Amino acid sequence: MRDFGALLAAALALVQGTANAGDVYTNGNWYDGNKFVERTVYVLNGRLSFTAPDQIDNTYDLAGTFVIPPFAEAHNHDLTTDFNPQERIAEYLRDGVFYEGIFDSKDEMAGIGYIEVENRAELLRKWPDLVQQKPDFVKVMLSHSEEYDLRKDDPEFFGFRGIDPQLMPDLVELAHAEDLSVSAHVETAADFHYAVAAGVDEIAHLPGTDQREIIRSKDAELAAENDVAVVTTISLTTKIQDDLPRDYDTLMQQYTGNLQRLKDAGVRILVGSDMPYRDTSVGEAFLLHQLGIFTNQELLNMWCETTPRRIFPERNIGRLDEAFEASFLVLSGNPIEDFEQVRNIVLRVKQGHQLILDSQPRS
């Protein structure tokens, strides 16, 4: 997991204001998770407060603008590579994306970063090596589980096969015993079923780009019951649109149906793009908005609250509450009335620091 605030000094030329003991923001409309409320808010040592301190060091007039928590990105791969990390971080911050869950390892070699197993005995033998690497979580690859026996020894499917789905319960049990969460990459509805049935904590994608894949209602209900989060990543499809074996519009209709089924079941849905080097979660959020499944408020809550709090559950982020981290975005307009306003960021504040980027926002 990555919090961009920890990477700023080394990776991006920023001018930061000083977080003083008594900054006050007046005349702003602050989002409370349901509506915008006009109020005066104080920043005390990097935290939000609604009680005036003894001393005010700086006063900032927000002049009727709208304040929301920062955005998050639940799935990407681009900050652990050598692909212009300074530029990528700058893009995230311009877009108001302060938090990200990264699905990569620094070293991607067999035994370092990933481990291949064929059976339970091999899983048990190699598991201590994985734990010794001190991962933040465990990601498991499921790919066409319904064809595991067909694909496992066929070189034609190299890179298009995953773990034996029968090993999933053992793997999840081992991970949870080490207090490690499990995220499952899935391609098909069968992969989704095996992942949820095994008790994973997160599904890394919606099924699937190469065939008709409808999530079963019972699997969606079980995911909701066990608080399994599902990351959207539907904008990944736009990257490979020319290579899709099916009509793009048909695929988007499938995604719409699956997302509606997850929403109806009460599944926790996270905004993530899986669009390395191309976009931040802004593109994902707007594609979700285009599908018309979620209201502006529902989508805003998914992006600003549900996603960052799932990435960093131990931190007070994702809401503008008393004693929460003083990280927020100031928008020129109301995004509940007009979702396009999420692009109109006039001020970015990270843990009490006002961030001034060294270049203009992207058009």
Task: Identify whether residues 62 and 110 lie together within a single domain.
Answer: no
Task: Identify whether residues 353 and 241 lie together within a single domain.
Answer: no
CATH number, residue 253: 3.20.20.140
Q: Is residue 303 part of a domain?
A: no
Rounded to an integer, what distance in angstroms lies between the CA atom of residue 260 and that of residue 276? 26
CATH number, residue 60: 2.30.40.10
Which residues, at least 6 apart from 331, have a Cβ–Cβ distance to it below 8 Å? 65, 66, 67, 68, 341, 342, 344, 345, 346
Q: Is residue 219 part of a domain?
A: yes
Written as six digits, the tokens of 147 are 């064809």
Q: Is residue 342 part of a domain?
A: yes
Q: Is residue 256 part of a domain?
A: yes
Which residues, at least 6 apart from 211, have a Cβ–Cβ distance to it below 8 Å? 188, 245, 246
Question: Helix, strand, coil proportions of the chain in percent (round to 5)?
Answer: 35, 20, 40
Q: Do the beta carbons of residue 164 and residue 119 sit within 8 Å?
A: yes
Residue ending a domain, among 213, 246, 273, is 273
This prediction's pTM: 0.88
How many separate domains does the chain show? 2
Rounded to an integer, what distance in angstroms lies between the CA atom of residue 125 and that of residue 103? 24
CA-CA distances (angstroms) from residue 323 to 41, 46, 65, 282, 297? 11, 9, 22, 28, 24
Domain of residue 120 covers 104-273
Task: Identify whether residues 206 and 265 lie together within a single domain.
Answer: yes
Residue ending a domain, among 273, 307, 326, is 273
Q: Is residue 19 part of a domain?
A: yes
Mean pLDDT, contiguous 10-residue spans, the chain (363 residues):
44 43 92 97 96 93 98 83 72 92 53 81 95 92 89 78 94 97 94 97 86 90 98 82 69 92 98 80 95 97 97 96 98 98 97 80 46
pLDDT of res. 13:
38
Q: Is residue 88 part of a domain?
A: no
Q: Is residue 220 part of a domain?
A: yes
Task: Identify whether residues 24 and 156 lie together within a single domain.
Answer: no
Task: Identify whether residues 149 and 240 lie together within a single domain.
Answer: yes
Rounded to an integer, what distance in angstroms lies between the CA atom of residue 298 and that of residue 157? 39
Q: What is the DSSP secondary structure assignment for residue 62, as one 8-state letter?
A: -
Residue ending a domain, among 245, 273, 301, is 273
Angle made by CA atoms 160, 166, 171, in degrees to the nearest 5? 90
Task: Identify whether residues 19 and 158 lie together within a single domain.
Answer: no
Q: Is residue 300 part of a domain?
A: no
Task: Identify whether residues 108 and 63 lie together within a single domain.
Answer: no
